[in-house]
Amino acid sequence: MTINGLLKHRESMLALVIVILIGAVGVITPDFLLAKSLLGAFNDTSMLMILAIGQMLVILTRCIDLSVAANLALTGMVVAMINSAMPGVPIPLLIILAMAMGAVLGAINGFFVWKVGVPAIVVTLGTMSIYRGMVFLLSDGAWVNAHQMSASFIDFPRNTLMGLPVMSWIALGVVVLLFFVTRHLRFGRDFYTAGGNPTAAFYTGINVGQVQFKAFVISGMLAGLCGYLWVSRYAVAYVDVASGFELQVVAACVIGGVSIMGGLGTILGCVLGALFLGVINNALPVIGVSPFWQMAISGAVIIIAVIANAKAERAPGRIILRRAVTGAADVNPTTATAVAKS
C-alpha cells in the first residue's frame, strides 16, 4: 500500500473510531447523541481544529511550535484589555489586530529558525515562556472578567448562523481555506516539499528556511485568532489561559497522521484528530471520568500515534549489489550499497 493509500485508510479508520466512540458514549448517556450535544462538541473543538491546522503546517516543514498556547494567551489578553478600556472598538478590528499580533509572534519564532538556525523546539520553548511572562507583565497578574468586557465582544462567537455558532463557522472557514491552499496552490504544496525532501526542495528553487518562516507566521496568525475566540467565549482573560493546550494541539496533529518527520499529513486528518480529542474531552465528564485524566489520555494517545506513524512510514531496504550467480566470488560487504524504497 502506498503512503497516500495508507493515509486515506488511516483517515477512514479514525472517522470510524470517532463514530464508534460517540455511539458507545451514547449507550451510556443517550442525551449525548442529541444534535444539540453533538453540535456543542463540534463547537468546543473549533479552536483545537484551527490551532492544529496551523501546527500541521509547521510540522510539515520538520519544525514544531510549542508557543501557540502562550501566543493565544498574550493576544487574548491584549484584545480583552483593549475592549475593556475602549468598548467602542469594532469587533472585526479587534480580530484583525489579534491575528496581526499573533502573526508577529509567529514571525519571531520563524526568524530564529530561518535566519539564526536555532532548532524550532528550543526557540518555541523559549518564546513560550517569554510570551507567558509578557501576559503577566502586561496585566500585572490581574484578570479581565466578563463584567469588564462589552456585550458585543462576548456575544460575537456565540451568535448563531443557520444553527451553528459563529465560532464553528470560523473553524470551517479556516479548514476549507487551508484545504484549498495545500491541495491546489504551489504556496501550500511547498510545505510538503520543504519537509519531505529539503535537499530536493533546495535544488528546485525552494528556500526551505523561508517556507518554515511562513509556516510559523500562519500558525501564529491562527493562534492570534484563537486568542480572541478563547477570551470572548469563556469571558475571561488571565495569565494561565490555555495552559498546556499545546499538548492537545500536537496530539490532534499526530493522531490525524501528520508525521513528526515532516512532509506528510492532511487537513482532513488534522480535523479528525481534533474531533477525536474533542469527543474524548466532552465524553469523559458525561461518563463520570475526572477531567484530570484528559492530559494523561492525550499523552498516551500521542505515544501510540507516534509509534503507529513510525511503523507506517518505515520502508524496508533492498540490496542493490549482490552475488550474481551461485558460486560466484563473494562481494565485499563494504562495497555493497543499500537504499530505501521510495
Please indicate, yes or no, if residue 141 is contained in any of the structural domains.
yes
Given this model, what pLDDT does residue 189 score? 93
Given this model, what pLDDT does residue 338 score? 41
CATH of the domain at 22: 1.10.3470
What total number of domains does the chain contain? Answer: 1
Q: Which residue has 490532534 as its cell numbers?
A: 252
| CA neighbor of 83 nearest in space, from 98, 68, 101 | 98
Determine the 3-state secondary structure of 202 from DSSP. Answer: helix
Given this model, what pLDDT does residue 131 score? 97
End-to-end Cα, the chain, rounded Å: 12
Q: What distance lies between CA 173 and its chain's CA centroid?
A: 16
Determine the 3-state secondary structure of 190 from DSSP. Answer: helix
Please indicate, yes or no, if residue 336 is contained in any of the structural domains.
no
Q: What distance lies between CA 337 and its chain's CA centroid?
A: 39
Contact status, residue 53 vs residue 63, Cβ threshold 8 Å: no
**Amino acid letter at 278?**
G
Please indicate, yes or no, if residue 113 is contained in any of the structural domains.
yes
Please indicate, yes or no, if residue 331 is contained in any of the structural domains.
no
C-alpha cell at 276: 477525536
Q: What is the number of other CB atoms lying within 10 angstroms of the CB of residue 289?
A: 13
Residue by residue, pLDDT tens for the chain (342 residues) are 455 555 557 788 889 989 998 998 888 888 888 888 889 989 999 999 999 999 999 999 999 999 999 999 999 999 999 999 999 999 999 999 999 999 999 999 999 999 999 999 999 999 999 999 999 999 998 999 999 999 999 999 999 998 899 999 999 999 999 999 999 999 999 999 999 989 888 888 899 999 999 999 999 999 999 999 999 999 999 999 999 899 889 989 999 989 888 888 999 999 999 999 998 888 877 777 776 776 677 677 778 877 777 666 654 544 444 444 444 444 444 444 443 443
- Quick: pLDDT tens for 228-272: 999 999 999 999 999 989 988 998 999 998 988 888 899 999 999
Contact status, residue 79 vs residue 97, Cβ threshold 8 Å: yes
Residue 283: its H or E element = helix 267-286
| CA neighbor of 70 nearest in space, from 274, 208, 239, 187 | 239
Given this model, what pLDDT does residue 34 score? 86
Distance CA 232, CA 218 (A): 22
- Structural domain of 185: 3-317
Given this model, what pLDDT does residue 306 score? 73
